[in-house]
């Protein structure tokens, strides 16, 4: 009778093979779960899905629709760099996303992020007044203005209407000085934001750009960070508080946006606390209280140096959304409902501007390219 030879090592080999197959299956399932749950983070480089039609399709995007969006940006805007991040992967790219350029008022939203560490460890007390810090300005501040707190500065509600050293705000529409109690009236004022920068450095003893490098650029792995490119600016004969312009690349703007989307988490590190991210992106001034009054016709309220989608049109993809905005076309827009970040740049050296209306049209084309997305209503600007 024929006897089958069975090596003594075979059972152990088969058991090991079974374990390896199970481990591979679990690893594949974990990777799929990561993509579904949005827990992918960039390493030294972003992971690209764009421009492969097959890869875009597998991630829920219509490649033809995205090409239409790209044609619009190419032909009808002055965009110089644009990235769309979906669950940690690049699903759209346009222009030069590497070059450093000025991000205008996006600086304020970045400063808001830097504040968190020092507020939560007690170094910065948001209820401290200008008077208590010994802060004044050229020509003097009024007694009522000195009662403004740090919280009022970072929410644009100080009631201080002293001229700013740096333009690009709504101070032309300011009420008479001394006419508003601190905290009672929101006005987008560079005096507030520049003073907030001065407060940060005075209380912490840390330069804003060094804090940006320590808290964000290094832990997030900025690909194009240049500390030597950063410097303050402003007419110090108008106000003693300069602005703190920031120069970063589009792909590093996207890292900032993705950190915010992940509520301050980067891989296994909590870079900015979840509570602080939620605080600075929550509405402090609702749409119906925005000033000047024509801002109430829009769809953005204000938080702590972040613009927050608000009002009856902040629904569907725009529910819980917020954005950093800067002159000439600088935006970091975060859409938590879609797990999406849009980083947009218009390099100021070309002396061109990308209008907010162009951003709106691009967002329409982008969302129309998202498969299985049903709008709960019209776009907020319609």
Instruction: Look at residues 221, 375, 380 and name the one whose alpha carbon lies nearest to residue 307.
Output: 380
In whole angstroms, give the CA distance from residue 139 to residue 151: 24
Strands 47-48 and 89-95: parallel
What is the share, in percent, of the chain residues with pLDDT greater than 90? Answer: 88
Rg (CA), the chain: 24
Q: How would you class 263 by CB atoms within 10 Å of its CB: exposed for 0-12, middle for 13-18, buried for 19 or more?
A: middle
The phi and psi torsions of 78 (rounded to 5 degrees) equal: -110, 25
- What is residue 162's DSSP assignment? P
Average pLDDT, integer, range 349-378: 94
Half-sphere exposure (Cβ direction) of 290: Cα atoms closer than 13 Å: 21
> Which residue's structure tokens are 């934001």?
193
Quote the tokens at residue 347. 């390099």
- Cα 251 to Cα 4, 27, 76, 82, 166: the distances in Å are 63, 29, 22, 8, 27
pLDDT at 338 over 80: yes
Average pLDDT, integer, range 311-336: 97
Question: How many Cβ atoms sit within 10 Å of the Cβ of residue 137?
Answer: 21
Omega into 176 within 30° of 0, i.e. cis? no
In whole angstroms, give the CA distance from residue 120 to residue 271: 13
Question: How many Cβ atoms sit within 10 Å of the Cβ of residue 306?
Answer: 25
pLDDT digit string, tens, across residues 63-102: 999 999 999 999 999 999 999 999 999 999 999 999 999 9
Instruction: State the pLDDT at residue 129.
Output: 98
pLDDT at 23 over 70: no
In whole angstroms, give the CA distance from residue 335 to residue 32: 22
- What band does 376 get if pLDDT is binned at 50, 70 and 90? confident
Domains along the chain? 71-368 (3.40.710.10)
b/e per residue 348-372 (b: at least 16 CB within 10 A): beeeeebeeebbebbbbbbbebbee
Instruction: State the pLDDT at residue 8.
Output: 53
Omega into 80 within 30° of 0, i.e. cis? no
Average pLDDT, integer, range 54-69: 97
In whole angstroms, give the CA distance from residue 282 to residue 306: 9
pLDDT at 1 over 70: no
Quote the tokens at residue 158. 């100080």
Angle of CA points 182, 183, 185, to nearest 5°: 95
3-class state of residue 82 by DSSP: strand
> CA 117: distance to chain centroid?
17
Instruction: State the pLDDT at residue 313.
Output: 92
- When the pLDDT of each residue in the chain is averaged and rounded to a whole number, the result is 92
pLDDT digit string, tens, across residues 220-266: 999 999 999 999 999 999 999 999 999 999 999 999 999 999 999 99
In whole angstroms, give the CA distance from residue 172 to residue 15: 77
- Cα 33 to Cα 26, 40, 337, 342: the distances in Å are 10, 10, 18, 23
Instruction: State the pLDDT at residue 374.
Output: 87
- What band does 55 get if pLDDT is binned at 50, 70 and 90? very high
Those residues whose C-beta lies under 8 Å from the C-beta of residue 90, and which sit 6 or more positions away, are 46, 47, 48, 49, 50, 83, 84
Instruction: Please state the length of the chain.
Output: 382
The phi and psi torsions of 315 (rounded to 5 degrees) equal: -130, 175
- What is residue 376's DSSP assignment? S
In whole angstroms, give the CA distance from residue 290 to residue 365: 28
Judge whether 40 and 59 are in contact, CB under 8 Å: no
Angle of CA points 161, 238, 350, to nearest 5°: 100
């Amino acid at each position: 009778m024929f006897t089958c030879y069975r090596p003594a090592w075979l059972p152990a080999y088969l058991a090991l093979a079974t374990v390896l197959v199970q481990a591979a299956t679990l690893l594949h399932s974990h990777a799929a779960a990561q993509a579904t749950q949005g827990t992918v983070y960039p390493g030294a480089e972003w992971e690209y899905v764009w421009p492969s039609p097959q890869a875009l399709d597998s991630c829920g995007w219509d490649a033809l629709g995205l090409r239409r969006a790209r044609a619009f940006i190419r032909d009808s805007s002055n965009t110089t760099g644009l990235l769309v991040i979906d669950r940690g992967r690049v699903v759209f790219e346009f222009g030069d996303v590497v070059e450093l350029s000025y991000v205008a008022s996006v600086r304020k939203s970045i400063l808001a992020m830097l504040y968190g560490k020092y507020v939560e460890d007690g170094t910065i007390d948001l209820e401290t007044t200008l008077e208590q810090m010994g802060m004044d300005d050229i020509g003097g501040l009024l007694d009522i203005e000195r009662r403004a707190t740090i919280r009022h500065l970072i929410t644009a509600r100080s009631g201080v209407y002293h001229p700013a050293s740096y333009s690009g705000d709504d101070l032309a529409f300011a009420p008479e000085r001394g006419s508003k109690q601190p905290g009672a009236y929101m006005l987008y004022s560079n005096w507030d934001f520049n003073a907030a920068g001065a407060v940060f450095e005075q209380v912490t003893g840390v330069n804003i750009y060094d804090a940006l490098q320590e808290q964000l650029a290094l832990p997030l792995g900025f690909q194009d960070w240049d500390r030597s490119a950063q410097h303050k600016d402003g007419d110090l004969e108008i106000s003693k508080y300069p602005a703190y312009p920031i120069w970063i690349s589009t792909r590093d703007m996207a890292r900032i946006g993705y950190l915010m989307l992940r509520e301050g988490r980067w891989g296994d590190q909590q870079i900015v606390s979840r509570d602080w991210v939620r605080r600075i992106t929550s509405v402090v001034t609702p749409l119906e209280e925005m000033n000047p009054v024509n801002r109430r016709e829009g769809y953005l309220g204000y938080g702590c140096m972040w613009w927050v989608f608000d009002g009856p049109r902040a629904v569907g993809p725009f529910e819980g959304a917020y954005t950093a905005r800067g002159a000439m076309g600088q935006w970091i827009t975060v859409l938590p409902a879609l797990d999406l970040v849009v980083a947009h740049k218009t390099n100021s050296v070309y002396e061109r501007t990308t209008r907010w209306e162009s951003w709106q049209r691009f967002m329409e084309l982008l969302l129309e390219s998202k498969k299985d997305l049903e709008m709960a209503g019209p776009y907020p600007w319609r």
